[in-house]
Amino acid sequence: MPKTFWRKVAAQTNLYWRQTLEARLQKAEEKEHLVTHRSQRSSVKLRRNLEKFQKVSPHEVVQWVDLILAHALSPCKQMDQHWNTKELGVLPGGTFGRVMPRDRFREISRFIHFTDNTDQAVATDRAWKIRSVLAVLEKPFKEGYVLGSRVAIDEGVLPSHIRRNPKRTFMKDKPHHWGSKCVMTCCAETGYCKRVELDIKEQVTLKAHSLWIRKEDQPL
C-alpha cells in the first residue's frame, strides 16, 4: 500500500473526529445533566476533555490495521482480551500492548474513516465508505499476477454481520450466509483473486478508477 493511502486515511479519520465533535459534546452534556452524585461539569470542561484527543498519524493507521489482521488470524471472543499480559492463543502475552495501548486502539476504532461522509458521491455510491480502499487495492492485484487459460468467475461474499451495512445480503449457498455480495475473477488453478467487483444492485459511474459495479439482474 502506498504511503499516500495511509496519509489520506489518517486525514479522513481526523476530519471525521472534527465533524462529530459537536454531536458528541451535546451527548456528553445530556449525560452530565443526569449526574447527581457529584457536581456537574460545565460545557467548557466537557469540550476541553473531548479535545484532548490526539490526532491520528499515518503510522498509527498502519499499526491499527496490523492489529486487526492479527485478531483475524488469532481471534478472541472480545478484542480487549488481546491486551492480556498472559499468553492467549498463538500470540505471546503483551504483543498487542507493545504495538499500541488499548485505549488508543479504541479511540482509532471509533473514528477510523477512509472517505469523507459529506462528499456528494455518498448519495449515489453505496460503497463510498470503502471506495478509496478498493481503488488502491485494484492496481496491485491486477499487476501482481497474470491469469492463465483457466479463469473462474463466480459470486462470493465478504462476511459481515453488521446490520448497518447497506450492502449486506443473504446467500444461503455460501459458507458465510451474510455479507457484501461480490463478483470475483480468479485463477481456477491457484485461486488467486485478480479482480473483485462489489455488487451494490445499481450501476454507478466512477471517475476515480475503473472498478465496474453491476446491477443485480445484469448478466456477467
Q: What are the pLDDT tens digits along the chain (220 aa)?
A: 889 999 999 999 999 999 999 999 999 999 998 888 888 889 999 999 999 999 999 999 999 999 999 998 888 888 898 998 887 777 787 889 999 999 999 999 999 999 998 888 777 777 778 888 888 888 888 888 888 889 998 888 888 777 777 677 787 888 878 888 888 888 998 888 888 877 765 544 444 444 444 444 444 4
Give 36-40 contacts, CB < 8 A, sequence gap 24+. none
Q: Alpha-carbon distance 99 to 63, whole Å?
A: 7
Closest CA to 125 of 184, 202, 214: 202
Distance (Å, whole) CA 187 – CA 147: 6
Beta-bridge mates of residue 184: 154, 196
Give yes or no for a contact between 121 and 128, defined as CB atoms under 8 angstroms apart: yes
